[in-house]
Amino acid sequence: MFNKILIANRGEIALRVIRACREMDIASVAVHSTADSDAMHVRMADEAICIGPAPSSESYLSVPAIISACEISGAEAIHPGYGFLSENASFVQIVEDHDLTFIGPSAAHIRMMGDKITAKETAKKLGIPVVPGSEGGVPDLDTARSVAAGMGYPVIIKATAGGGGRGMKVATSETELEAAFRTARTEAKAAFGNDEVYIEKYLQRPRHIEIQVFGDGKGNAVHLGERDCSLQRRHQKVLEEAPGPSISQRERDHIGGICARAVAEMGYSGAGTIEFLYEDGNFYFIEMNTRLQVEHPVTEAIFGVDLVREQIRVAAGHPLSFTQDDLQINGHAIEVRINAEKLPNFAPCPGQVKTFHAPGGLGVRMDSALYGGYRIPPYYDSLVAKLIVHGRDRPEALARLRRALGELIIDGIDTTVPLFFALLEQEAVRGGDYNIHWLEKFLAEALE
Ligand code: MV4
């Protein structure tokens, strides 16, 4: 096992990793920018090293600074958290070239899933159901026309190098195809430096269902069920829950089994998430994320496993510590993402927190790096806390969420907390009856 791990991240996820390290008796090294000298992850780690100025590009994304911090501190492994360098295959290669361990999958697996066409082809070969669409990239408008005519409108044009909703365009008829195709290519070139695009049948009312998977690179792999992450605004998740309110045990076993077998066959190592659109009882693969996700705690709650501990063990060369048969769902969990944003426009509003009081009690978990008096720097993303509740069933989790939100105090800044009180009163949320468009419609109507 490692003696010392460096965490190449900040905020609540850095604390999350430090906590796992401490329970495993592993020393932790925080890295931070000059804007984060007073940050909680710096205080909570065993050691801290300043790696550069406030902009992420010169600190949390600076590969030489992070590698140097490992050499200075004697850390043997790097946990990347989510975002920043967590899905950067070149970084993983450099880490390995320095005889350090990246706590995550291989550079090859990250690269494979980063290219959305390769990801989809791989998924298809492994027996994962995919959205109908073009075979690979679509080089020109004539090809786009014939592919779209073949499967019927509406269609969606996506960037090969994209993901997370960036660079997508919908065309509802052949009239719209030319503009959509040209815009998608131009935007893909500008955003990713690669103008290759592909086409899929556009699903009109799906849910976003993602399957948590875990492999040990030794041929063992499991799935930890699904999360429903359909409540999103501008491709930012707002509330996530597990199990999915629309998914039966039979469907879970079926799609989960397909995903676990695929992960085993790939020789994948570490935590991963296979994202699907789910409509009319069918799953359609869209992407795979090769990192620990923000919403991993809902899965931890219902399965009673520590996913970060497992990531560290697997990276150190241990086999998975549980089998599929060990994994049973217990109850229901919901996470809300509390952002330092002002409603109704979700404008980021960093500033100084006066009072901070985290809720507690049975079935309540608060992952946050806030403290009273903390000044939230304006340079990073606006997530300041994740509130995760766990109950014996969904109604209990919903009641617990309302109770816990009532106990939470974050004074001095605006947050998205009022949105969650409003959502808890909605019939669609109470009944788990929503799709990927529900939240945007709700927000548009609330503003009328
Ligand atoms: C789609 C789709 C409909 N049909 N693909 C958006 C994020 C990216 N991961 C994939 N996305 C979508 N792909 C087909 N064939 C609709 C979306 C989509 C979406 C997906 C998940 C969660 C929220 C979303 C909001 C708008 C569009």
Distance 49 CA to ligand 1 centre (A): 39
Q: What is the pLDDT of residue 448?
A: 67
| CB of residue 209 inside a 6 A radius of ligand 1 | no
Ligand 1: does its nearest atom lie under 6 Å from the Cβ of 158?
no
What is the atom index within ligand 1 of the atom nearest the CA of 275?
Answer: 9
The response to whether residue 94 sits with its C-beta less than 6 Å from ligand 1 reads no
Ligand 1 within 6 A of CB of 439: no
Protein residue with its CA nearest to atom 14 in ligand 1 = 202
Of 3.20.20.70, 3.30.1280.10, 3.30.1490.20, 3.90.420.10, the CATH number of 132-201 is 3.30.1490.20
Residue type, 310: E
- Most ligand 1 atoms within 8 A of CB, residue of 134, 156, 437 to mutate: 156
Query: Ligand 1 centre and the CA of 177: distance in Å?
Result: 18
pLDDT of amino acid 210: 98
> Is the distance from the beta carbon of residue 237 to the nearest atom of ligand 1 less than 6 Å?
no
Among 427, 374, 430, 376, smallest CA distance to 399 is for 430
d(CA 295, CA 301): 11
Selection from 29, 109, 16 nearest residue 67 by Cα: 29
Report CA Rg, the chain: 22
**414: three-class secondary structure by DSSP:** coil
How many Å lie between the centroid of ligand 1 and the Cα of residue 59? Answer: 32
Torsion-angle region of 300 (φ positive above 0: left; ψ -120 to 50: alpha; else: beta):
alpha
**Ligand 1 test: best mutation among 130, 168, 274, most atoms within 8 Å of CB?**
168
| pLDDT score of 167 | 77
pTM of the model: 0.97
Give pairs for 309-312: CB < 8 Å, separation 24+: 309/20, 309/23, 309/24, 310/214, 310/271, 311/79, 311/103, 311/104, 311/270, 311/271, 312/1, 312/2, 312/5, 312/20, 312/21, 312/24, 312/26, 312/77, 312/79, 312/103
Q: Judge whether 313 counts as a catalytic residue.
A: no
With a 6 Å cutoff on the Cβ, whether 367 touches ligand 1 is no
One-letter amino acid for residue 372 of the chain: G
Ordered per-residue pLDDT tens for the chain, 448 residues: 999 999 999 999 999 999 999 999 999 999 999 999 999 999 999 999 999 999 999 999 999 999 999 999 999 999 999 999 999 999 999 999 999 999 999 999 999 999 999 999 999 999 999 999 999 999 999 999 999 999 999 999 999 988 767 779 999 999 999 999 999 999 999 888 899 999 999 999 999 999 999 999 999 999 999 999 999 999 999 999 999 999 999 999 999 999 999 999 999 999 999 999 999 999 999 999 999 999 999 999 999 999 999 999 999 999 999 999 999 999 999 999 999 999 999 999 999 999 999 999 999 999 999 999 999 999 999 999 999 999 999 999 999 999 999 999 999 999 999 999 999 999 999 999 999 999 999 999 987 6
| DSSP tag of 415 | -
Sorted by where each begins, the domain ranges of the chain are: 4-86, 132-201, 207-446
Regarding the beta carbon of 259 and ligand 1, being less than 6 Å apart is answered: no
Task: Tell me if 346 CB under 6 Å of ligand 1.
Answer: no
Give the rounded distance of the alpha carbon of 248 from its chain centre.
23
Nearest CA to ligand 1 atom 25: 436
Q: How far is the CA of 199 from the centre of ligand 1 (A)?
A: 13
Question: Which protein residue has the closest C-alpha to ligand 1 atom 10?
Answer: 165
Q: Is the CB–ligand 1 distance for residue 238 below 6 Å?
A: no
Q: Looking at residue 363, what is its pLDDT?
A: 98
Pick 207-446's CATH classification: 3.40.50.300, 3.40.190.10, 3.30.470.20, 3.30.160.100.
3.30.470.20
Chain centroid, CA 244 distance in Å: 16
- pLDDT score for 382: 97
Q: State the distance from the centre of ligand 1 to the C-alpha of 163, rounded, in angstroms.
A: 9
Residue type, 314: V
Q: How many Å lie between the centroid of ligand 1 and the Cα of residue 398? A: 26
Decide: 164 in ligand 1 pocket, CB within 6 A: yes
Is residue 72 classed as helix, strand or coil in its secondary structure? Answer: helix
For ligand 1, say whether the CB of 156 is within 6 Å of any of its atoms: yes
Query: Which of ligand 1's atoms lies nearest the C-alpha of 284?
Result: 15
For atom 23 of ligand 1, the residue with the nearest CA is 436
How far away, in angstroms, is 133 Cα from ligand 1 center? 14
**Residue from 10, 291, 309, 365 carrying the catalytic annotation:** 291
What's the topology of domain 4-86? Rossmann fold (3.40.50)
